[in-house]
Amino acid sequence: MPLPDLLGVFGGTFDPVHTGHLRLAEEAREGLGLAEVRWIPAGNPAHRDIPGVDAAHRLAMVRLAVAGNSAFTVDASEVESPAPSFTVPTLERLRAEAAGERALVLLLGADAFAGLPTWHRWRDLFSLAHIAVFHRPGFPIDPASLPAVLATEFSRREVSDSRALRRSPAGGVIAAPLTPLAISATRIRQLVSSGGSPRYLLPEAVVDYIDRHRLYRPA
């Protein structure tokens, strides 16, 4: 029997959250039929450089960005924890909290997916969630371009129809095209640092928050 609904899991540094993040989450919600997208800002990201601003600011900006979308919720657990932010423990917590056998769908960009073998306990991801991999239209995921161990998992687990994700709580991989938006958090930080305007790259509420708290400015 199909599972009742799908919970999208969208983690990241969100330094800062921008329109590209929002569009990915919305296209995932619509294209995969997700009942909810859970945004999980990393408090202490283990695979990234030290964020430009502290976790409390990044959490506040995510909350401002998703306000008004009833399908988007924010999980502050990683921000509130001093431990390094790893995806597997996060999914283990969500799996323990999930009602019944609710399916979890981890949302990843194609570049992040290609780097999966460098992640902490990466093979355990497949027993905890499905993975949705978003790529540029016309450039599908090519197993030959992936690390061999990941290509094997991708080929074995790939499904072509999002309805298949409802038949089990975890284990599938689905590739989906994503509207290309050339927006980068790194570029936004550089822009603000040099005195430029990030308007229209970020939600207005986030632009105002950055201005009010003078974030990403030179020390």
Q: What is the CATH number of the domain that holds 108?
A: 3.40.50.620
Lowest mean pLDDT among 28-32, 102-106, 128-132, 215-219: 215-219
For the whole model, what pTM was predicted? 0.94
Q: Which domain holds residue 166?
A: 6-182
Domain-embedded: residue 213? no
Exposed e or buried b per residue across 156-195, where buried means at least 16 C-beta atoms within 10 angstroms of its C-beta:
eeeeeebeebbeebbbbbbbbebeeeebebeebbeebeee
Measured over the CA atoms of residue 111, residue 116, residue 119 and residue 125, the dihedral's sign is positive
Per-residue pLDDT for 2 more than 60? no
What is the predicted pLDDT for the residue at 3? Answer: 56
Higher pLDDT pick, 136 / 88: 88
Mean pLDDT of 12-23: 96
Task: List the structure tokens of 149.
Answer: 């161990």
Per-residue pLDDT for 191 more than 90? yes
Domain tally, the chain: 1
Task: List the structure tokens of 202.
Answer: 């970020």
Domain-embedded: residue 210? no
